């Protein structure tokens, strides 16, 4: 090859600049700009080195072909290479390569080498032009594809057509019948290596400019690009068998006739039908069929409202009578809670896949109207199922996400979720995204809904290929979806199918779209249905007869009518039949807890010592830790010897003991491995070996469950949604999400409001996720002080005006009836107990913990091992066990509080010598409110006035939640006074001195025995 390159250099004595200068004026004119009325395709730099075309690249390619078979190249090249390799004089017996202009083989005269040079240059240039042309189709051919079923819009935001001009790459129409060798960067040749330019263009048009637009040349990996080219460029690759076409027709019939049946029976009901995009059903079934053939056993799906009932009926295969029941508003719900509209409900179903002849489980996640919010939830549940099944490569469990075009481009959580796709602790090894692109968002045109040409451009950030397809071509849809499933199986990366369609009705069936899109809907009214068009095509091809087609329609209509008649027999609506994540064997057969009692959450002293020793050690050999970390571990060792623990060690004890009991623990969030406040250090880093880490928690016991601790990306919305989904998969895992500061939880407010606080009421699905929200006013400003407890408490469902009836297991019944648990622990031991209680209860509720910051290293915020031994448990309130508690009748004031303000109150009380006059009671569990314990404790102080003290502002924090419940508890016999900061718009001041002054004022109010005198 070196000899060849030397020869080529001798063959081309002129530089590129010299060659341009010597070109004829006529030839240069042919390469000049194109008319302004048309926009031509421009080539771009490709990732493959072979596309950086030079003459030597081309000659080397011809030489390689000649070495393999001398007859595969033109005779002139054969003679030239024989001379070049045989040592003949370069000017003797050289036959120039042909101009390919139509002359026959025997008409080329022998010319000396130098005289032949312009012909060689022209041939090389023309072949490079063909390479550029091929690349132009590969890069931007999708802009020319016929994607819109309505034929009225362009995928770009420019109505000017985007033709691919021959002149733009240096060719013209006179070259159409010339023969060109096909480069290795394309598969259009099939078994042929030489084609005419006309045939090359025809094949490129068939591959890239029909009803499929392939967007993939931005992908960095050359192998992946080649894989896609092979799947779309190979001649005849999109052929289907008669059986496949008949199956596709049957699926189109089910999809179409289902919507028509609903329209006939419930014409005035909102159902967000699939009319205009009926090919979605065969699209999803193709993805599932192919994935099942590839070994997938479980599919987790998330989707919005559009077409959901159709997907439930024809993809998940929910019984039709159960779907039709949802339209009967007179049915009485058998389950407690609000329930949800029919187009939000989820479903879990295991069935036989007829194509692969394998069992497959399909789960469609319940979701709110908040578009795309379910995306990270699906990813989290998928990750959990992969984890529990040992599916480390994602070959058995896969996610499918459906999107609307406007939401896919408009909702930020889409971007956040995409960025989880390749992170080690969050990857699900590839998601198939299907965008139902009906080219409108409610009433908003695409031009007003996004700034990108396509709604799918977001997927380019993770190198996911994007397959645009015309929804009115079911065969193209079926092929593209098969390729998408194979891509995911081959590369375990995300892939997007952009299903370009239309919406035959308004946003819902009662909406009038002509108000805002008159031209589009005039065309839609003329549009023949996709089923009708496809059936006519197959009848013409002889695949089915008209009679067979009509019989299939009649058969499915009868299925719907029979199910409708059966649905009339239903008397009760069971929401629990729509569970998307059942927990086998966790509940009784009727879905109730197996017991309402909670065992002691304490553990043995030996276990505390053992876990403590692990927390204070490095269980890997030759592992060098940071000097500062050595001091932290030594401090832990001293605490274990003293039989006490601080906050970090108590957390270690809770996690370690649960792991030892076989409970998987997963902690996720920003910087959680070390801890925002450098207190946790669950992942140790070798100071001498980069990326070498040690997680001591996984060395507690040989048969323990695994501990997963993972720093998350800088996102709250998607990560909290992900962890929520992870917690859905199994009740036997403690899944925790920690905000970097509690203030930042509102970035994930949608997940908190729509899923965590109300998920069970809407979808009868319990969830045990734990939220750790660092909280406390410490002079750090308005964004690093408050986890906004007032918002969480406002969403609690316990009644402030009703004192619950005493009963056995009162505390557990309260927990079972609430929608979530809100606590603010003031001791490490109580933090330890509440974490363990979360797993030892026989049911699951979300747990919100307002965790401390300054208490992490507070000398008084330590607990004895005695408070964590067998027989101990979580304390819903902590009573005053000092002088005030010993002589309650002489106490003049009872201050109730929660969290770290307790330590500031007791310090100030001690300094003022009021330990016997003022009792301080801590309410550790705020919701459900401990009515029973608060009553029994306040009754002990009959002569004391009651004060609620908090460090938060009056319109924030706990006051508005606690006051009515305290009043109900004491029967309104005593007023509830307030000691705290004044109302304010921001959670905290950013001025340290102002913070100190505010704190002193609230302490003065709380501890001044005369401040409320004379008030009513």
Query: Per residue in 959-996, pLDDT tens?
Result: 999 999 999 999 888 999 999 999 999 999 999 999 99
Q: For residue 265, what is the domain's CATH number?
A: 3.40.50.970
Question: Do 801 and 623 form a contact (C-beta atoms < 8 A)?
Answer: no
* CATH number for the domain that contains residue 652: 3.40.50.12470
Residue 877: how many CB atoms within 10 A of its CB?
Answer: 17
Same domain for 861 and 882, yes or no, is no
Q: Say if 101 falls within a structural domain.
A: yes
Look at residue 169 and tell me whether its pLDDT is greater than 70: yes
Residue whose tokens read 């010339």: 178
Q: 1009 with 892: CB under 8 angstroms?
A: yes
Say if CB 947 and CB 1003 are below 8 A apart: no
Average the pLDDT over 130-145 and give the result: 93
Average pLDDT over residues 845-850: 98
Residues 383 and 448 occupy one common structural domain: yes
Report the percent of the chain where pLDDT is more than 90: 71
Q: Are residues 617 and 556 in the same domain?
A: no
Q: Is 549 a residue whose pLDDT tops 80? A: yes
Same domain for 264 and 402, yes or no, is yes
Q: Is residue 261 part of a domain?
A: yes
Q: Are 483 and 496 in contact (CB under 8 A)?
A: no
Are 627 and 743 part of one and the same domain? Answer: yes
Q: Can you list the positions of beta strands (E) in 502-616?
A: 572-573
**Which residue pairs, CB below 8 angstroms and at least 24 apart, start in 618-623?**
618/684, 618/694, 618/696, 619/694, 619/696, 619/699, 620/694, 623/684, 623/686, 623/692, 623/694
pLDDT at 195 over 50: yes
Query: What is the reported pLDDT for 711?
Result: 97
The secondary structure of 924-974 as a DSSP string is -EEES--HHHHHHHHTT-TT-EEEEEEEEETTSTTHHHHHHHHHHHHTTSS
Q: What is the DSSP string of 521-554?
A: HHHHHHPPPHHHHHHHHHHHHTSS-HHHHHHHHH
Q: Is residue 155 in a domain?
A: no
Closest by Cα among 602, 749, 627 to 687: 627
Tokens representing residue 69 in the block: 């078979």
pLDDT at 538 over 80: yes
Q: What is the pLDDT of residue 336?
A: 59
Q: How many residues does the chain have?
A: 1016
> The tokens of 635 are what?
């401090």
Residue 276 domain boundaries: 242-322+361-568
Kindly state whether residues 620 and 554 are assigned to the same domain: no
CATH number of domain containing 980: 3.40.50.11610
* DSSP single-letter state for residue 109: P
Cα Rg, the chain, nearest whole Å: 36
Candidates 752, 746, 772; CA nearest to 677 is 772
Asked if residue 462 and residue 392 are part of one domain, the reply reads yes
Q: 625 pLDDT exceeds 50? A: yes
In the chain, how many domains are there?
Answer: 4
Beta-ladder partners of 470: 500
User: Is 285 in the same domain as 395?
Assistant: yes
Q: CA-CA distances (angstroms) from residue 829 to 378, 835, 861, 905?
A: 35, 10, 10, 20
H helix or E strand, kind and range, residue 903: helix 901-912
For strands 684-685 and 693-694, give the pairing: antiparallel
- pLDDT above 60: residue 269: yes
Question: Which one-letter DSSP state was computed for residue 901?
Answer: H
Angle at Cα 817 formed by Cα 816 and Cα 823, nearest 5°? 75
Residues 424 and 530 reside in one and the same domain: yes
Flag whether pLDDT at 934 surpasses 70: yes
Q: Under 8 Å CB-to-CB from 423, ≥6 apart: which residues? A: 713
DSSP 696: G
Judge if 670 and 803 occupy the same domain: yes
Residues 720 and 863 in one domain: yes
Phi-psi region of 430 (alpha: psi -120 to 50; beta: other; left: phi over 0): left
- Residue 546 has what pLDDT? 97
Q: Could you tell me what percent of the chain has a pLDDT over 70?
A: 87
Q: Residues 961, 820: one domain?
A: no
């Amino acid at each position: 090859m070196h000899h060849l390159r030397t020869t080529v250099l001798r063959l081309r004595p002129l530089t590129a600049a010299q060659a341009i200068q010597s070109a004829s004026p006529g030839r240069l004119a042919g390469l000049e700009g194109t008319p302004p009325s048309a926009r031509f395709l421009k080539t771009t730099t490709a990732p493959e080195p072979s596309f950086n075309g030079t003459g030597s690249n081309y000659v080397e390619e011809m030489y390689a072909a000649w070495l393999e078979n001398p007859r595969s190249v033109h005779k002139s090249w054969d003679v030239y290479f024989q001379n070049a390799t045989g040592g003949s004089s370069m000017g003797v017996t050289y036959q120039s390569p042909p101009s390919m202009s139509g002359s026959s083989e025997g008409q080329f005269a022998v010319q000396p080498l130098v005289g032949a040079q312009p012909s060689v240059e022209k041939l090389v240039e023309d072949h490079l032009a063909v390479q550029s042309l091929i690349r132009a189709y590969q890069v931007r051919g999708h802009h020319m594809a016929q994607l819109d079923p309505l034929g009225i819009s362009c995928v770009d935001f420019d109505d000017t057509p985007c033709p691919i001009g021959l002149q733009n790459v240096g060719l013209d129409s006179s070259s159409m019948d010339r023969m060109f060798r096909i480069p290795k960067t394309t598969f259009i040749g099939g078994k042929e290596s030489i084609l005419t330019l006309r045939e090359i263009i025809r094949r490129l048009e068939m591959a890239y400019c029909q009803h499929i637009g392939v967007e993939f040349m931005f992908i960095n990996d050359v192998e992946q690009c080649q894989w896609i080219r092979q799947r779309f460029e190979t001649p005849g690759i999109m052929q289907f068998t008669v059986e496949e076409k008949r199956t596709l027709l049957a699926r189109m019939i089910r999809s179409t006739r289902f919507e028509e049946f609903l329209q006939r029976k419930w014409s005035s009901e909102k159902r967000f039908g699939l009319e205009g995009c009926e090919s979605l059903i065969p699209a999803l079934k193709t993805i599932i069929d192919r994935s099942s053939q590839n070994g997938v056993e479980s599919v987790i799906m998330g989707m919005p409202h559009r077409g959901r009932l159709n997907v439930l009926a024809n993809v998940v295969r929910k019984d039709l009578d159960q779907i039709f029941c949802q339209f009967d508003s007179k049915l009485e719900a058998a389950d407690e809670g609000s329930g949800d509209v029919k187009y939000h409900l989820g479903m879990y179903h295991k069935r036989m896949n007829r194509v692969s002849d394998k069992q497959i489980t399909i789960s469609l996640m319940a979701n709110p109207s908040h578009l795309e919010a379910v995306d990270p939830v699906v990813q989290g549940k998928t990750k959990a199922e992969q984890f529990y099944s040992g599916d480390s490569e994602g070959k058995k469990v896969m996610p499918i996400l459906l999107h609307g075009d406007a939401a896919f481009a408009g909702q930020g959580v889409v971007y956040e979720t995409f960025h989880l796709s390749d992170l080690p602790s969050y990857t699900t090894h590839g998601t198939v995204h299907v965008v139902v692109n009906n080219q409108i968002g409610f009433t908003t045109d695409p031009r007003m809904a996004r700034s990108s040409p396509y709604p799918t451009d977001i997927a380019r950030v993770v190198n996911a290929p994007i397959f645009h397809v015309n929804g009115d071509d079911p065969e193209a849809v079926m092929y593209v979806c098969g390729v998408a499933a194979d891509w995911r199986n081959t590369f375990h990366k995300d892939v997007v199918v952009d299903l370009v369609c239309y919406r035959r009705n308004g946003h819902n069936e009662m909406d009038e779209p002509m108000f805002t899109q008159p031209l589009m809907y005039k065309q839609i009214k003329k549009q023949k249905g996709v089923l009708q068009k496809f059936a006519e095509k197959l009848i013409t091809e002889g695949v089915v007869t008209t009679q067979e087609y009509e019989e299939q329609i009649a058969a499915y209509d009868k299925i719907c009518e029979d199910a409708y008649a059966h649905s009339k027999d239903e008397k009760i609506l069971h929401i629990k039949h729509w569970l998307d994540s059942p927990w086998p064997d966790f509940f009784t057969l009727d879905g109730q807890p197996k017991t309402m009692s909670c065992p002691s959450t304490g553990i043995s002293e030996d276990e505390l010592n053992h876990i403590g020793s692990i927390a204070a050690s490095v269980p890997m050999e030759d592992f060098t830790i940071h000097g500062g970390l050595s001091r932290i571990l030594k401090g832990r060792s001293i605490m274990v010897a003293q039989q006490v623990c601080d906050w970090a060690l108590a957390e270690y004890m809770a996690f370690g003991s649960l792991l030892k009991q076989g409970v998987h623990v997963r902690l996720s969030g920003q910087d959680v491995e070390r801890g925002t406040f450098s207190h946790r250090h669950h992942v140790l880093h070798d100071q001498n070996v980069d990326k070498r880490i040690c997680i001591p928690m996984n060395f507690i016991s040989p048969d323990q469950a695994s501990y997963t601790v993972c720093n998350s990306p800088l996102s709250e919305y998607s990560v909290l949604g992900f962890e929520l989904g992870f917690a859905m998969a199994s009740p036997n895992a403690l899944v925790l999400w920690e905000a970097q500061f509690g203030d930042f939880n509102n970035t994930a407010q949608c997940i908190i409001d729509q899923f965590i606080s109300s998920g069970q009421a809407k979808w009868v699905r319990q969830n045990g996720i734990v939220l750790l929200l660092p909280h406390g006013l410490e002079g750090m400003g308005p964004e690093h002080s408050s986890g906004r407890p007032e918002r969480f408490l406002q969403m609690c469902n316990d009644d402030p005006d009703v004192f619950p009836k005493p009963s056995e297991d009162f505390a557990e019944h309260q927990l079972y009836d609430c929608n979530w648990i809100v606590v603010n622990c003031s001791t490490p031991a109580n933090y330890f107990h509440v974490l363990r209680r979360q797993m030892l209860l026989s049911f699951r509720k979300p747990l919100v913990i307002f965790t401390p910051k300054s208490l992490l290293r507070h000398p008084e915020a330590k607990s004895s091992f005695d408070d964590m031994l067998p027989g101990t448990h979580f304390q819903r309130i902590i009573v005053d066990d000092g002088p005030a508690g010993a002589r309650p009748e002489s106490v003049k004031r009872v201050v109730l509080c929660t969290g770290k303000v307790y330590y500031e109150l007791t310090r100030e009380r001690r300094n003022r010598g009021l330990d016997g006059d003022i009792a301080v009671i801590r309410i550790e569990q705020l919701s459900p409110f401990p009515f029973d314990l608060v009553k029994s404790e306040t009754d002990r102080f009959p002569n004391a006035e009651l004060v609620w003290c908090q460090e938060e502002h009056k319109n924030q924090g706990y006051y508005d939640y606690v006051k009515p419940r305290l009043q109900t508890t004491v029967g309104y016999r005593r007023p509830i006074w307030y000691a705290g900061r004044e109302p304010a718009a921001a959670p905290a001041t950013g001025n340290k001195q102002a913070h100190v002054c505010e704190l002193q004022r609230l302490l003065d109010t709380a501890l001044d025995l005369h401040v409320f005198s004379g008030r009513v």
